Structure 1
C-alpha cells in the first residue's frame, strides 16, 4: 500500500508544477463511484446522499506536499461556497485520525469541511486517481464533471467560477437549499 501511495505522490508532484487554476472536463460524465466513509469526527458520510448538490471530492494525504499546500485554499473556497448547493469531501488515503488532527492543527487554519478516512485505500482504488492530490467535481446528478491532478488554489476566481457554473446547471428539480428551512 505504501509503495502504491509513493507512486501516486510522485505522479502528483510531477504534474503539480505550473498548474492551471481550472479543472479538466471529464468526457461522457461517468457516474461517480458511490462510497460511505467515516469522517474524522466519527460521522458516516455517503457521497450519493448529496444528489442535487455539486460535490468536490479531493483525494489527499498529509505526507503529500501539494496536498498540504492546497488545504488552506480549499478551506477559503469552502468559506465562500458553503451556503450554496456545494459540499467538499477531502478523502484522506491511508492515514488515521491522529495523523490528520496533527496536520490540521499545524496549518493554523481551522478546517471545517468534512475530512473522510479511507484508511485501507479501498475507495481510492474505485476512482480514476492518477496521483495525490486528485480532485473530482461531481455534478448534481452524481456524475464526474471535472477532474484535476495536482494541487490547486481552490479559492482562485477561475475555480470558484467553474464550480458556480456547474451549480447553475443543476436541474431545477434537484437543487437543494443549503439554508435551514424558515421557522
Structure 2
C-alpha cells in the first residue's frame, strides 16, 4: 500500500509539473502571439538602440481625408507612432502623444500617427475618444516592415535631416516622449 501511495503521488507530481510547464508555454506563446500582418501588442518596452539611417518615406492617408508625405516635413522633427484601436497600450499612451503634440507643435515638431490593421470606423472612434488632433491615418502595408516594426505601439524619431535617430517600443510616458523629442531637436 505504501508503494502504491508513492506511485500515485509521483504521478500526480509529474502531472502537476507538466501542467505548470504547459501553462508557462501558453503564456509565452500569448506574449509573442502574432496578430494581423505579424504585429504584436507591446505592453512593456523602452528605448531600442539603432544606428541612425534615412527614414523610409511614406504617404499617410489621413482620416480627415488629407494626404501627407513624410518627406513634406524635412527640416522638422517628426514623431511617427504606429498604433491600432484594439491595442490597450496604444490607448494608454494616446493622451501622452496628444499632450506632447500640444507642447511641441510650435517648436518645429510634427506628430504622425500611423494606424495599422484596423477597421477605419474603430480607428476614427479611437481618435475621437482620445481627442487626438495631430495627423493620423493609414499607409501602405509595407511601411511597418520598412521601419522594422516589431509590435505596437512603437514610436520613431526622425530628425530635421530625415534620419531615424531613435526608436521606442511600447507605450510612452510624458517624460519619455519629451526626451525623444529633445533628442530630435538637438540632433545635428
Q: Tell me the TM-score normalized by structure 1.
A: 0.76
In structure 1, the partner of 2:12 is none
- Structure-2 change in CA distance of 1:25 and 1:86 (3 Å): farther
In structure 1, the partner of 2:7 is none
CA distance in 1, matches of 2:60, 2:78: 15
* Larger relative contact order, structure 1 or 2 (CA cutoff 8 Å, min sep 6): 1
| Match among 44, 58, 73 for residue 96 of structure 2 | 73
Larger radius of gyration: 2
In structure 2, the partner of 1:8 is 39
| Contiguous gaps of at least 5 residues in structure 1 | 171-183
Q: Structure 1, residues 78-109: CA drift from partner, whole Å, max 9, x if none?
A: 110010110010100122432112122333xx
| Match among 117, 124, 135 for residue 114 of structure 1 | 135
State the Cα RMSD in Å: 2.2
**Secondary structure in 2 matching 1:146:** strand
| Contiguous gaps of at least 5 residues in structure 2 | 1-33
- In terms of fraction of residues, the more helix-rich structure is 2
Q: Tell me the TM-score normalized by structure 2.
A: 0.74
In structure 2, the partner of 1:147 is 167
| Match among 159, 163, 181 for residue 177 of structure 2 | 159
Q: Structure 1, residues 128-161: CA drift from partner, whole Å, max 9, x if none?
A: 10111111000111111000111111x22x5314
**Secondary structure in 2 matching 1:112:** coil
